[in-house]
Chains A and B, each alone.
Chain A
């Protein structure tokens, strides 16, 4: 089974071949490296840019203005902050021109903690991203969704921010990507660049097919009846794990993967909360003006008389950074035991 980085690479290949993607670019995105996480190895239209995030976003915007499809990468979301006003403009160009200039562009960037990245390779961007009207924001938590969401992003007429959870990039999926060979080794031999000299290496792409995860559509990852846990990205598999652990004690927890942060699948979330009457929102961005607070607001406004326990949020602590020492990192952003404890408390609360 492909890992998330391989899934991204395969989606980009599909985009180059079938969706009119002309440029895939960013720092170290082209040969010889093919991306610091190998997500852009072996592709046809990749190129290396100057070390200039504003130039990268500006270039993507110019290509989008000319309606030329591109995928731009910011090497780590920790370095996207100096492009914030350009991201604002990318999000308002269609609106400002009353539809004259749609901005079909995809920007992908690795986010979050989990690789001992210390202060500047652990930032999250989802809360910031959801404050960029005009953008669509997606974040996969497994290989198949990584493939399907990126294909949807490359088809969309709007700017799409594709957040790649760093901690999951090496994690293998448990569902085959359509066209992916069965064997892990076979896939690796076909599409992973060799170590050392790669100048003569060419990938041998599998025959991939179209598979889109519609933007705005979440996924019920685990069905349950007593509480709903809503998450995305790195914390999503942890939520499934926590729910599975609690199942051993006879508890039934439903886990939802948002997959798209904006637009988002409120109907899925609402139906689940109406069923379980208890909800926990989990993500790892800092907790003050966190995106989950918007979802919590909606929960309260629309289901105040439905829920039978306080709706909760578990998110990253409101800190200036994530410290290098694992003790610091684990105390700063949600870990498995934090999630399990929080769900347990939610289940135990008596109104």
Chain B
């Protein structure tokens, strides 16, 4: 656990990619199995226990500390795991050796949720400050050390001197603590044998189209498609068995039997998961009703029928089409879908255009339900995992905006935990007595510069009306221009509406709060 804690500590503070890779490789080299495998799992989201709830951690901490001092400390530090790790009483000498990561994982695998805190308490006594922090973060979920799964795999590739593609390909067939993987990387065995037929294949991602970039590209090199407002999925079907994955490889098939249960063919398809009712694509909000669930009810299947709109084919039968150019894959895909003839699956059409001006005109017009913009794909590009620069672009339509008034501020997370950086903002409507009142319409965390953030933070501290724990209500004075992708009806919000992907565009210092937008204006933006 000591090594793991050191690793976490170093990664948290290290900014540079190469420095991170060096730190990871050093860790893999100097740490034995199975500890290094469990660390790898923790970094790549392969070890998610959520065994410790915040309430359980609080209880542990409060039993060992003065509650007033704990509260003051938590207020200052702003993070429960860190507060607990730092405040935990320390004996002169640690009682017994620090637990190993593998020992912790093993013990917890044999322990009920209810008894876990008891073990954790014992371990906390045997660890130092950074060990306690790493343990709590690991078991509470939310180890944020700025290492993507991709970066971890790159470090593995460098460590073992293997191409990253090989690791990516095997990855979803491997399980923690990855003994077979490390044996291979250490040169002791050959590559692990994995049946890849219904495994997730790492997906190819697009880069956003930058301003002016279009003019540097030749229109004849590209094909355009609609960018659908659903979620990116991969359907891997083989011998009557089918699995549906998100783009990060999470399996969601069981929640979508109307897709996965009907795929009786042999192919791996890349496409968009949407809700389609009576022949029409529904807004994202409808799809949202079906996401994040383990299973699905008959009513949901009826009210929000899932639909797969495909735009690429990775395998047709045994044939790996990924090395082939887009045009070849497209022809295969069209032939495949035409022959299939299923109502729950269709082809995402190409959008024909002559030149960039023509395409720009089409893009300007895209504000229909389900369409988020355009995709541009190079005709000669193979299907390459990751986000290669050049072959694919996403060209999102312009966001909607509204002027809203800052109502509540909450301390942020991570880097921003000492600043008030999470904002709830509202728009005006007529209150019960006819006088205008503000009602919250959304909440946003990002989209401002550090300088703006500091300025707003200072203002918030000076203009607080009331404090509720980490939240402050403020004088309704600051107008924020909020950008968002769409608006949909919401029963959970007092205003009756909710924004999708709201972010703060800029501070409207020029605008008095009374002139901010009204809820009705937002409601008129609801689609579908």
A associates with B: no
Seen from chain A, the residues whose Cβ lies within 8 Å of a Cβ on chain B are none
Question: Interface of B with A (CB < 8 Å)?
Answer: none
